[in-house]
Structure 1
Amino acid sequence: MRALLRNLLFTLALPAVLVATWWVASDGSRDVYWPPLRTVLTAFPDVWTGERLRGDVWPSLWRLTAGYALAAVVGVALGTLIGSHRRVRAVCEPVLEFLRAVPPPVLVPVLMLFAGIGDTMKILVIAGGCVWPVLLNTVEGVRAVDAVMAETARSYGVTGAARLRYVVLPAASPQIFAGLRQALSIGIILMVISEMFAASNGLGFTVVQFQRSFAIPDMWTGILLLGLLGFVLSVLFRLVERRALGWYHGRRAASRRS
């Protein structure tokens, strides 16, 4: 319990300092584009009502979840295949480097031609950006599987799907989760960008509408909500990671003590 409280204190310390700094720095501001933080916080519950949460926040979360899940499945599957076979890796590497260099926002107009302006386009944009850290980290994680462990599994007849499930993926899982963590922040950015193009709802669309109508405090509430959303998703991801990689963190802690 004491360790949990200490971790919570460390987690909230810097955000509290930043909020306090923002409050003091903006207090008394008469700049239209830099309203006091108390004005933003006062406007927050009036802007983000239950109806707006259902109409804008929920669609954004649905697109982010769908695109992120698609990227995770494709990235882990392709990364495992490419990392496990040297010839496949040699063939795919030039193409992967080319595609990785294309910024996902550039693909928005192209995807609009083929997928329209609905949720499909936005999900594909999110997945197209999130897949790369997952795929590349999976490739490196699979390639870095301990040779002694792999040889031991082979000598005991652990091959095929069993080798993949009990040897390769567990050994590569720390790097896979590192890629998933990077992809989460990329997904939030692409969610906002995709909703700025030909959208009728979503957090990105709403923030732009506030900006265009010069509702500056309302615009800042949207930015604040996006920051809170990123923070909450990061905490949830960390909890899932610690549960899934409990054996890994336990081994690291034991090695530090020894």
Structure 2
Amino acid sequence: MRVLRWFLLPLVLIGVWWAASAGGTNFYLPTPGAVLRAVGPTWTPATLRADVLPSVARLLAGFTVAGLVGVAAGVAIGLSPALRAYTEPVLEFLRAIPPPVLVPVVMLFAGIDNTMKVTVIVFGCVWPVLLNTIEGVRAVDPVLGEVCRAYRISGWTRLRTLVLRGASPQIMTGLRQALAIAIILMVISEMFAASSGLGFTIVQFQRGYAIPEMWTGIVLLGLLGVALAGLFGLGERVVLRWYFGLRRSGRGAP
């Protein structure tokens, strides 16, 4: 039954796509069958290694750096009201800048290699992690803070067992949001200046009017997003095992 729920909406959407494109004259909307027939010739093992793997590597590199920077800075700012007061105007200013706008600027300083693409991903992904971490740290139960103080729990032990553990649900929320942004920025950065990657390949197909092949790239990009979200969900279940158990016990579940 659960498997049926997973596949019901995708099957309905494919059916709508098929009905909208069958017998149509729109060159830019091929049928799902035409797209499916183009998958094999388009995405061979060599093509996957040349285009998909570099994209995934850039995405994971940018996402990892953004996660580390966002959590570290968020914890520091969340624990210090003075630091939060000094940094808030700058953070709000930088957060309001759309990351794609920075692509030409980053290209001037970092060139058009992987450094530029990873930098754009980092800049766009760091904000949800940073802001969610700040709010998560600020929301840590003050009573638990007093308990730590009474038992003289301080330093790394207090940071690990109280601050990071208490803020971890919101940190994971920020990371989940950052993952979706990372996929978008990976494609955008590769569309500007690249010689490989999913974004580059999709644009090349579009410029060459290889429309079914272009759609295969879009579908592959969506499947990549689903796979990464699924893997993230598994990791989230492990990291927040205590949190989900607490919620189940609060609802009276066994």
TM-score normalised to the size of structure 2? 0.97
Q: Where do 5+ consecutive residues of structure 2 fail to align?
A: none
After the TM superposition, list the runs of 4 or more consecutive aligned residues in structure 1 that deviate by more than 3 angstroms: 6-9
Question: For 1:8 and 1:249, how far apart are their aligned partners in 2?
Answer: 22
Indicate whether 1:105 and 2:100 are aligned. Answer: yes
Aligned pairs for 1:61-140 (under 5 A) are 61-140=56-135
Give the residue type in structure 1 aligned to 2:109. Answer: F
Give the Cα separation in 1 of the matches to 2:24 and 2:197.
Answer: 30
The Cα of 1:45 is off from its aligned counterpart by: 1.3
**Structural RMSD (CA):** 1.1
Distance in 2 (CA, whole Å) between partners of 1:253 and 1:15 is: 30
Q: Does 1:229 align with 2:219?
A: no
More displaced, 188-197 or 12-21?
12-21
Establish whether residue 16 from structure 1 lines up as the match of residue 11 from structure 2. yes
Task: Give 1:29 deviation, angstroms.
Answer: 2.5
Partner of 2:152: 157
CA distances 1:65-88 after superposition (whole Å, capped 9, x unpaired): 000000000000000000000000
**What is the aligned residue count?**
253
Deviations 1:73-120, CA, capped at 9 Å, x for gaps: 000000000000000000000000000001111111111111110000
What are the ranges of 5 or more consecutive residues in structure 1 without an aligned counterpart?
1-5
How many angstroms apart in 1 are the aligned matches of 2:162 and 2:48?
A: 43
> How far apart, in 2, do the equivalents of 1:100 and 1:7 lie?
39
Percent identical residues = 60
* Contact 1:150/1:167 (8 A) holds in 2: yes
Of 197, 207, 210, 2:202 maps to 207
- Among 177, 182, 193, the alignment partner of 1:182 is 177
Residue 256 in 1 paired to residue 251 in 2?
Answer: yes
Q: Deviations over 1:23-58 (max 9, x none)?
A: 232222332111111000110111011111000000
Q: TM-score, normalised by structure 1?
A: 0.96
Structure 1: distance between partners of 2:45 and 2:149: 57
**CA distance in 2: counterparts of 1:11 and 1:240, whole angstroms:** 20
**Contact kept? 1:27, 1:37, Cα under 8 Å:** no
